Structure 1
Amino acid sequence: MNPRYRSFWVSALLTFLWLAAGSPATAGELLYEDRFASLDPSWRPLSDAVSVDHGKLILAPAPNTSQAILNQSQRFGDSEITVDITTAAGDPAAPGGLIFWAADSDNFYCFCINAKGYYKIIRYVGSKPLDQLDWTPSEAINKGLGQVNSVRLVTAGRQATVYINDQREVTFNGQPPPDRGLIGLAGDSGGNSATVWQFANLRVIAGSSPAPAPLPPFYPSPLMAAAAALAAAEDVVAIPGAAVPAATPSLPAALPAFPAAPPARRVALRLHGANTVGAELAAMICEDFLKHEGATSIQRRPGPRENETNIEALLPNESADRLIFEIQAHGSKTAFEDLATGGCDIGMSSRRVQPDEAQRCARAGLGDLFSSDCEHTLGLDGIAVLVNKHNPVNALTTQQLAGIFSGKINDWSQVGGPSGVINLYALNDNSGTFDTFKSVVLGGQPLSAAAVRYENSAKLADDVAADRNGIGFAGMSFVRNSKPVAVAEAGADPLVPTPFTIATQEYLLSRRLYLYTPANPQNPWTRRFIEFARPKLEVFSWLTSGSEALALEALIENYKHEYPGITVINDTVSGGSGSAARPVLQRRLAAGKPPDVWQSHAGWELFGQYVGPGYCEPVTDLYRSGGWDRAFPKPLRDLVTRDGKIYAVPAGIHRGNVLWYNKKLLEQHGIEVGNRMAFDEFFAACDKLEAAGIPALGMGDSGIWASAQLFENTLLGVIGPHGWTELFSGRMRWDDPKVKQAMQYFARMQSYLNSDHAALSWDQAIKKLRDGKAGFFSMGDWAEGEFARANLKADVDFGWVSFPGTEGSFLVVVDAFALASAAPHKEAGIAWLKSIGTKDAQETFSALNGGIPARTDVDPAAFDSYQRWAMADFNRDNLLPSCVHGSAAPAAFRQALDDAVAAFVADRNVDTFAGALTQAARQAGQNVIARVDFEERTVKPEVSEAAPPPQTPAGSENKVHHAETQNLALLSPPRLPVPAPTPVPAPVSIAPA
């Protein structure tokens, strides 16, 4: 029912307003009584709809109108008001009742009941309704036309308690007028017939005045004062229409019995606007928010009208009253109408506010709705063009869609389908989805008058699904049983709306979803809700050193610029090479609580720990849609590819086999370093520094991986790139004489280390080199980021060379990010991966952390001399995967290597070291996946009798600048049972803007 309301005669009412004179009444004193023997002239305004007959005051408003009158004889403070109310004839669902706490004709409370057994409390501020308590069933109400219901309302301070037929129903806190209030009576008629209301035995008895009760957590917006001023010129008082549909005559059998004093309910937050947001998403966010706030007994109930929902809950330790989050989903246009009149706290919109709407809201005191104080991006959505599942048409151009929805194309045969008249389904003019569709597709063409119009997107989708010749459009979440068709401009590749195409904004009908608020909301719930509802992204990494943290922050800022409104949760765990972060991440993944995206080394770490167990999902579409197969070289793509699917996006590349040195210190001691360095030259330089009392080789191995990397570089320097492939394919043993020679070199290096190496982290140890307290430092080029951060100048303060014996080899360390299969904010995660894969992001990231971009289409001139050197070597050297950094071997072997290195640093026993690694390799397995002849001849893979396990990284031909190389020749462990991740409910996610 949609009642219209009869006007108060405001001028007459104001003429008769006066304050009661005399001394304060004592408790129990009769203040006013009307047995309606005749019509008391203090009732105003009077009309033909108001009369008195046989001791009853009768209100008989015309169909679809209401009648309300105030008694102006006096104002009442704390009191007990009783009246008998009867719906004598007409619509049993129509509301009527007792007005109280009335400051004037525009500001009052009304307790309403109907003959179907429901009651409601509504508050009017500036003639605008604010639900204090939504329709609530009551067993105490005598149901049916002609039934008398005795209502008793007791006010004490700011508290009011209502009894129906002597049963206490509700107690709630309100805001009575400071100078006491008037009382009144009201009645409403249904849309089809006049409803007759009878009121009898009205009495007002003085009550006591206890200490004021606390105010409820409801605060009208600052617009309400403006709305009241505007409404003063309008003669409108609205008594709400019944929320109960005509087809709801009885209560469900399972309804629990009402307690003697059930808690009151009050509207704490009002969200009005877009059906796309309000139909389901807003309710879910409200429920999650209330859980976050510690609420209990959270229930979702239908609201007074179609497309309205109330979320009810209790907040322990705050109030005994139930509170309501009111959601009205009547279209984006209504969001700005209600904001401007103070009818809601938050406006939901599936399009951006229009200039005229923003101006109206600004005039009402909301502020600039285009500003970040008012406009809050909720996420990205796509408008799906829907047809019946059996319709063979799978793609349409925007030109064809414009012809269809304007009525110029009216048969499916005109767009490649079977012959049949096209039936159009469209959202109504209040819809933001329709506004966007009209702008992008129809342009200046009008929608065909033959289109059936809807407010509810779900109903539209269902009707399209049931009509073989139907076509419509709605938000992506409303596809339901219909089929979305691919959409494109003429000549372009058509795309269907998917999380990828929407998150990357490549789908033509992508659009943003918004929440709008006043710039300075007075309702405290508003800010808290907005902060909670703001789309989020959790990024998990170990990028915590100074330069790494700056580089990560640069990625985050770049992401925020591309996708404003996203709250990025930067979750880092310190510990080089992810040594501390990986266990934390594994526990979260196993518990079903993943971050949205996380840092991973490419190769074995990615495949064995995350892809194999199903923790991350493919992101191949990003590479296809972005043309990244041309930007990222094939060796890198292979490091993140399994079974033809790509699982991560490299943010940058590091070189592991770099030897850094303090240029000025070495010059002071007559040590020259050329373009390459042999082991004998290195040891001679170290001996010279040691003789001068200077630690030759800086080290910080509080994380043992740093020592493991020194050994890895030494091993590569001795066995060479071909030996590296042989070793990690199982064709060379770990007790091979060459491997033992590398171990002996590594043992000798221990005597050159700074004495406090075990107490320092890698980035702390860099200070030794910077301050001239160490001559050399073996570390990946993330160290260069720390040099730059300390304002050291390349080729002046520090120099570099490939680690002894490793010239011509590039030990690849890839910092990549993967997307969680169960990401709480999947579309935000997809957008993160797209963002870090862009040229600008990669250039910024590498410039700060010392590495080089994973993309090969960057301009080398934008980088420093070390990075240009690294880029050149990357394009011509043999690319080899690092074991220490997770690419060359599975996690079990990498852990065994760390353990063996830790033991060796202590005892320096080569045989024990070799034996431990030989045993670890045997346990890991020696199935050969692929190997490479580094004389630029691709060698066919050699496979042992045991089939390689599926988690083994693919080894295929890799080409970098036409140099045929193979960079994955890895240990392949036997298949081990991998426990399935803990199942978690699929999260509901909205793509970021």
Structure 2
Amino acid sequence: MKLRFYPLWIFIIVAALWHPVLNLFGGEILYEDDFTNLDPSWGTPGDILSVKDRKLVLKPALNTTQSVLNQSNVFGDADIEVEVNLSAGDPVVAGGLIFWAKDYTNFYCLCLNANGFFKISHFVIDRWLNPVGWTASDAINKGIGQVNKLRVVTKLRQATAYINDKQVITINGQPPQGGGCVGVSGGSAQESQNTWQFANLRVIATASAAASSPASSPSRPSRQIVLRLHGSNTIGNELAPALCEDFLKYQGAISVQRKPGSKEDEVDIEGILPGESANPVTIEIQSHGSSTAFEDLASGRCDLGMSSRKIKQDEASRCASAGLGNLSSPACENVLGLDGIAVLVPKNNPASGLAKEQLADIFSGKISDWSQVGGPPGPIYLYAPDEKSGTFDTFRTIILGSRSISPRASRFENSAKLSDAIAADSNAIGFAGNSFVRNCKVLAILDASGKPQLPTTFAVSDGEYPLSRRLYLYAPEGTQNEWAHKFVDFARPKMEVFSWWTSGGEAAALNALFENYEKQYPGVGIINATVAGGSGTGARPVLQTRLAVNNPPDTWQSHPGWELLGQYVRPGYCEAITELYQSAGWEKAFPKALVNLVSQNGNAYAVLTGVHHGNVLWYNKKLLEKNGIKVGENMTFDEFFAICEKLKSIGIPAIGVGDSGIWASSQLFENTLLGVVGPQGWVDLFTGKMSWDDPKVKQAMTYFAKMRDYINPDHAKLTWDQAVKELMDGKVAFNSMGDWADGEFIKAHLKENVDFGWVNHPGTGGAFLIVADGFTLAKGAPHKEAAIAWLKSIGSKEAQEAFNTLKGSIPARTDVDKSQFDRYHQWSMGEFAKDKLLPSCVHGEAAPEAFQKALNDAVSAFVIDRNVDNFANALVLEAKKVGPIPAGRLEFGSQTIELVNPAVPPDAPAGYADDVHGAAKLNIIFHFRSGSTQLDNRAQADLNHLVDLLHNSTYQGRKILLFGFSDNYGGNRRNLRISKGRAQAVAAQLQSRGLVPALVTGYGKALPIAPNESEEGREQNRRVEVWLRSGQ
């Protein structure tokens, strides 16, 4: 065992002897490369990186920035220069010289472009920061093919940049402890691949390096320590220092800097507070393992404890005996963030993943050779954190259980050294916090079904990754250290949720989401950033301003469809969350139609909290009954206006409107328009098949004008919820509003069908105008992990049930417990299942923002002049500007024919090829319960959509073919009988709707579309497919 370490120790001794030599002589060349060939320290040659004509050639992929580091050579203060040439590509895109590089997660870059601009960027973890923004400089040789010499001279925390020997900027930064490496960087445009050439790289020792010999270092002055953080190496390595630096700056400190402590894994953060003292204040960070957090808290050696695991009972008892209070309480235990423990191997290891049981066998010593887990023969060498480590405690709890780790394992306090040792040993395996991957390869952990899980941000944040954990900061109860109070408040994550839910019912529903989140993820603070204004009229402009200046909230409310995709996804403000849908299994829980509405190019960008019914006419039941008026299950416009006229004759405003924000009047018009043109007319309007000056549209405008004769006189000064309050108070009879109004009734404890009732807006029976709400993940979210956890929580059954029972909407999920919902919700769920689903224009789903605004403006003008021609012409003009809108945004359930003739599989049963010849398959499949010919709950809406499609003139005359299939449970004869029965069940439903299929047959368990080994696969195989063939 010891023999394996001899080469490593020799390397350390040589490095220790060599490193001081490099620092002794200012002006000595430390490293140079004329690129006659590609030094292996730069990487492997290929399409992206190569050497040609004594130049390092870098060709980044489209729309990416490629950074390449020479990590084999590490320097302290140095004079670094390289010649840079953009020989081909887009002159706007930057490239340059990397310096102060700790590794690929932390480095600085002096960049320029061929248009004459430069900047200095600081790359940290996964984002670019800009200490120096784009600056024009006449020192730059402009143009494609022009060579520029970049030079950076570093001295302690200062870096001075030169371009073509002209000094352009000096910055203060954060050089890596122990020295950094150099590298180059270059980018390509979205539609143009750039070619970057680098030549004559040279690194020279500076005079300050000679002065930095350890032997001549002055003694360290005494420190004014204001705060002491001890414990976890995972937290103390980078997270705590970064937080402390930002914290001191937030307190107004200047000259904030890191200084190495007296021991390894110790660092001080210093800063000067102007006006208080000329001497710096210091925050002490010691990172010797999570258990030391509680040892040092109990003994009084630190003020705050950092731990990558929860406090143990014996540790809590010891701290309580020391007078620190109950550290397990929410007041003392603070969540800093989420993290995953990565299983690491060297990059040349062919393994891709291991099961938890295999990991347990490996680290307990039961498995000792790689051939036992499918690898090439060779001993397995184990690496692990030491006994003080919270990372080890978590791994032991989740993976090892009651087993002990093998005594053959090499143990480390420092996670970075552990990772580097694994990378250098071809037979190694180990584990460390996710931030210590460095030069290792990460293995996936296989779940019970064999699905691999990697410690991605999504998998860690939503808890799907088995070795997910939380990082904690423990503060003693009643501490007298004000710095500790301030730091905990500063460091505790405060996820910002941005919305416009401010009315009584809305606020109650939003609080239900917050409570569910805090129950699942205690210790994470929430900033409830609400901006008043119905339908987001006040919030969206504020949000757009924040997004434009790169100051996003972590997550914000959005309507799906055009609002989400056009205003937020296309400009790049949102991050895709498809991985969350996959890991949480939401493909089965959320209807595909709704998922499509938040998706673009196959990626989902929001989680829907609920679905509102937009075209509901609410009424005060007691008021109508008092005046002898009854409302049936549906209402025509004639019936509605007759009631309005009767109420007007006795001095009662029939219709309540609160249009201090014009959107409420626009909604009244939208519902009226749908009631006149019908579902197909609605689609035709937005796809350009019907003009906005069509007689039907003008009829709707005339009806809308007539409604203005019956509205409340104070409408202009009321908000939407105040108008609903007038309905509740009996001041008006009706209010045409989405069922967020029901949230107000619930909040006021009104009784259904006693105090209030509802019906579809006149003429809109059979149509469901969707107004859905969802939340996004901001690109560059300040608290990304917390935001992902928020999205997972609001998509859960518990949250959807709690939220929608208060909000008035129905859950976006279809697997909720419907018995928890009141009679209105039950009615709306039924309507959603059978009605034609259509998107709202007023709420940003059916049309782009420009048309939505034009509609509001036209309504505002029409309310004043009631000129139908002007109203219609304004919408005609705007529709021409916007152009036709894809029908897929409008017909949620509509299906399209695949314009392909699928190849007949070689194992297809007899007769199948003849049956499908000349036919095309629809993107619609009917599913069934196991062993049954009964359609599942989704079938009713799908049948309605299919009938609508087949009645369309485009598809009339086509022959309908129905093919039934089964899973592989049971014998062939039984499966054939069930598959035919399923096809006949769909045929009976179509026949009852006036459509007679030309062919109805079944193929049993043939042609499965998914593996039958899992229940999910078997469910997909129990199906009926619908095909169409030309009638000629």
- Same fold at TM > 0.5: yes
Q: Superposition RMSD on alpha carbons, in Å?
A: 2.5
- In structure 2, the partner of 1:821 is 779
Report the secondary structure of 1:698's partner residue.
coil
Shift of 1:377: 2.1
Counterpart Cα distance in 2 of 1:941 and 1:661: 46
- In structure 2, the partner of 1:963 is 941
- In structure 1, the partner of 2:902 is none
Cα distance change, pair 904–629 in 1 and its aligned pair in 2 (3 A): same
| Kept in 2: contact 1:661–1:776 (CA 8 A) | yes
Cα distance change, pair 289–957 in 1 and its aligned pair in 2 (3 A): farther
Counterpart Cα distance in 1 of 2:802 and 2:891: 36
| Kept in 2: contact 1:558–1:841 (CA 8 A) | yes
Q: Is residue 557 of structure 2 the alignment partner of residue 579 of structure 1? A: no
Q: Is residue 489 of structure 2 the alignment partner of residue 511 of structure 1? A: no
| Kept in 1: contact 2:500–2:539 (CA 8 A) | yes
Amino acid at match of 2:572: G
Cα distance change, pair 438–941 in 1 and its aligned pair in 2 (3 A): closer
Task: Say which of 593, 600, 623 aligns to 1:665.
Answer: 623
Q: Which runs of 5+ in 2 are unaligned?
A: 1-176, 179-206, 213-219, 900-921, 927-937, 950-1032
| Kept in 2: contact 1:931–1:941 (CA 8 A) | no
- In structure 1, the partner of 2:70 is none
Query: Where do residues 376-775 of structure 1 align in structure 2 (5 Å cutoff)?
Result: 376-489=334-447, 491-775=449-733
Amino acid at match of 1:666: L
| Kept in 1: contact 2:561–2:889 (CA 8 A) | no
- In structure 1, the partner of 2:760 is 802
Report the secondary structure of 1:595's partner residue.
coil
Query: Where do residues 119-268 of structure 1 align in structure 2 (5 Å cutoff)?
Result: 252=209, 265-268=223-226
Q: Is residue 858 of structure 2 the alignment partner of residue 897 of structure 1? A: no
Report the secondary structure of 1:582's partner residue.
helix
- In structure 2, the partner of 1:204 is none
Amino acid at match of 2:507: A
Shift of 1:866: 1.0
| Kept in 1: contact 2:610–2:800 (CA 8 A) | yes
Cα distance change, pair 576–349 in 1 and its aligned pair in 2 (3 A): same
- Which deviations, in whole Å up to 9, do the C-alpha atoms of 1:793-825 show, x marking residues without a partner? 110111110000000000001011111111000
Amino acid at match of 2:352: N
Cα distance change, pair 253–763 in 1 and its aligned pair in 2 (3 A): farther
Cα distance change, pair 494–932 in 1 and its aligned pair in 2 (3 A): closer
Report the secondary structure of 1:819's partner residue.
coil
Amino acid at match of 1:905: V
Cα distance change, pair 966–621 in 1 and its aligned pair in 2 (3 A): farther
Counterpart Cα distance in 1 of 2:365 and 2:414: 23
- In structure 2, the partner of 1:312 is 270
Counterpart Cα distance in 2 of 1:905 and 1:516: 60
Report the secondary structure of 2:490's partner residue.
helix
Counterpart Cα distance in 2 of 1:933 and 1:287: 53
Amino acid at match of 2:327: L
- In structure 2, the partner of 1:973 is none
Q: How many aligned residue pairs are there?
A: 705
- In structure 2, the partner of 1:301 is 259
Counterpart Cα distance in 2 of 1:933 and 1:374: 52
Counterpart Cα distance in 1 of 2:449 and 2:885: 49
| Kept in 2: contact 1:547–1:789 (CA 8 A) | yes
- Which deviations, in whole Å up to 9, do the C-alpha atoms of 1:185-222 show, x marking residues without a partner? xxxxxxxxxxxxxxxxxxxxxxxxxxxxxxxxxxxxxx
Report the secondary structure of 1:544's partner residue.
coil
Counterpart Cα distance in 2 of 1:478 and 1:956: 46
Deviates more, 1:455-464 or 1:602-611: 455-464
Task: Say which of 269, 285, 300 aligns to 1:327.
Answer: 285
Counterpart Cα distance in 1 of 2:727 and 2:398: 60
Amino acid at match of 2:452: P
Amino acid at match of 1:295: A
- In structure 1, the partner of 2:297 is 339
- Which deviations, in whole Å up to 9, do the C-alpha atoms of 1:150-199 show, x marking residues without a partner? xxxxxxxxxxxxxxxxxxxxxxxxxxxxxxxxxxxxxxxxxxxxxxxxxx
Counterpart Cα distance in 1 of 2:539 and 2:227: 40
- In structure 2, the partner of 1:101 is none
Shift of 1:345: 0.5
Amino acid at match of 1:278: G
Cα distance change, pair 838–938 in 1 and its aligned pair in 2 (3 A): closer
| Kept in 2: contact 1:699–1:777 (CA 8 A) | yes
Cα distance change, pair 927–531 in 1 and its aligned pair in 2 (3 A): closer
| Kept in 2: contact 1:663–1:797 (CA 8 A) | yes
Cα distance change, pair 755–358 in 1 and its aligned pair in 2 (3 A): same
Cα distance change, pair 442–272 in 1 and its aligned pair in 2 (3 A): same
Shift of 1:911: 0.5
Task: Say which of 239, 242, 265 aligns to 1:281.
Answer: 239
Amino acid at match of 1:499: T
Counterpart Cα distance in 1 of 2:889 and 2:574: 28
Counterpart Cα distance in 2 of 1:405 and 1:933: 55
| Kept in 2: contact 1:653–1:814 (CA 8 A) | yes
Query: Where do residues 935-946 of structure 1 align in structure 2 (5 Å cutoff)?
Result: 938=895, 940=897
Shift of 1:774: 0.7
Report the secondary structure of 2:276's partner residue.
coil
| Kept in 2: contact 1:298–1:313 (CA 8 A) | yes
Counterpart Cα distance in 2 of 1:363 and 1:325: 26
Counterpart Cα distance in 1 of 2:448 and 2:557: 40
Cα distance change, pair 867–693 in 1 and its aligned pair in 2 (3 A): same
Amino acid at match of 2:783: H
Amino acid at match of 2:535: S
Query: Where do residues 811-960 of structure 1 align in structure 2 (5 Å cutoff)?
Result: 811-926=769-884, 928-930=886-888, 938=895, 940=897, 960=938
Counterpart Cα distance in 1 of 2:579 and 2:851: 33
Shift of 1:940: 4.8
Amino acid at match of 2:855: L
Counterpart Cα distance in 1 of 2:882 and 2:776: 25
Shift of 1:252: 4.9
Q: Is residue 766 of structure 2 the alignment partner of residue 788 of structure 1? A: no
- Which deviations, in whole Å up to 9, do the C-alpha atoms of 1:882-908 show, x marking residues without a partner? 001111001111011111111111111
- In structure 1, the partner of 2:39 is none
Deviates more, 1:811-820 or 1:955-964: 955-964
Whose helix proportion is higher, 1 or 2?
2
Q: Which runs of 5+ in 1 are unaligned?
A: 1-243, 256-261, 943-954, 970-993
Amino acid at match of 1:675: E
Counterpart Cα distance in 2 of 1:675 and 1:867: 16
Report the secondary structure of 1:883's partner residue.
coil
Cα distance change, pair 621–835 in 1 and its aligned pair in 2 (3 A): same
Deviates more, 1:481-490 or 1:829-838: 481-490
Counterpart Cα distance in 2 of 1:786 and 1:812: 19
Counterpart Cα distance in 1 of 2:820 and 2:888: 37
Shift of 1:437: 1.4
Counterpart Cα distance in 2 of 1:958 and 1:702: 46
**TM-score between the two structures when normalised by the length of structure 2:** 0.66
Counterpart Cα distance in 2 of 1:326 and 1:937: 63
Q: Determine what percentage of the aligned residue pairs are the same residue.
A: 61
Shift of 1:733: 0.6
Report the secondary structure of 2:453's partner residue.
coil
Counterpart Cα distance in 2 of 1:575 and 1:634: 31
Counterpart Cα distance in 2 of 1:457 and 1:431: 10
